[in-house]
Amino acid sequence: MCGGVSYGGKTVYFPQPGAELPLVRTNKTYADMLVTWGRREREAGQLPITGWARLESIKAGKWSRYFLKPVKIHVDSFMEKDKGGERHWFKVPRDHFIQGALVWQGREQRVYVVTVDPPPEHAHIHDRWPRLVSEADALAGSHHP
């Protein structure tokens, strides 16, 4: 489900208050803005208390009450914890990004990691996986949920 990421020599875990993810705007190769990653239970706001958005939930309209824009999250690697709590780090391939959902409600803005089923070879680690998109996919517009 992507409980942590590493980018630019920095490691960020979702439970950290104020955790931010680096977003890439259209046709840029490096992050040009940091946005708060989801919302934790004790944080003020109206957006969902989670750091992830299932792709099938987005497609089913469960996020339609929010202004949602698909974005690319530019990280070097992401972390998944298995059922035993062991951390597993996975490198994001060059020219690939994690699919994000940038969401607004009023003045509140946060980014959620879009998740899909894991690749079969990693299904034993976790039942959700960040959706990876390539630069070519993003330029073609197929990165939209």
Predicted local confidence at residue 145, as pLDDT: 55
Residue 128 burial class via C-beta count within 10 angstroms: exposed 0-12, middle 13-18, buried 19 and up = middle
d(CA 145, CA 137): 12
d(CA 94, CA 47): 32
145 residues of the chain, pLDDT tens digit each:
789 999 999 999 999 988 999 998 655 544 578 999 999 999 999 999 999 999 999 999 999 999 999 999 999 999 999 989 999 999 999 889 999 999 999 999 999 999 999 999 999 999 999 999 987 665 444 445 5
The domain ranges of the chain are 4-140
Predicted local confidence at residue 32, as pLDDT: 72
Predicted local confidence at residue 109, as pLDDT: 95
In this structure, the strands spanning 20-24 and 67-73 are: antiparallel
Backbone conformation region of residue 20, classed left if phi is above 0, alpha if psi is from -120 to 50, else beta: beta
Q: What is the pTM of this model?
A: 0.89
Residue 118 burial class via C-beta count within 10 angstroms: exposed 0-12, middle 13-18, buried 19 and up = middle
Predicted local confidence at residue 23, as pLDDT: 92
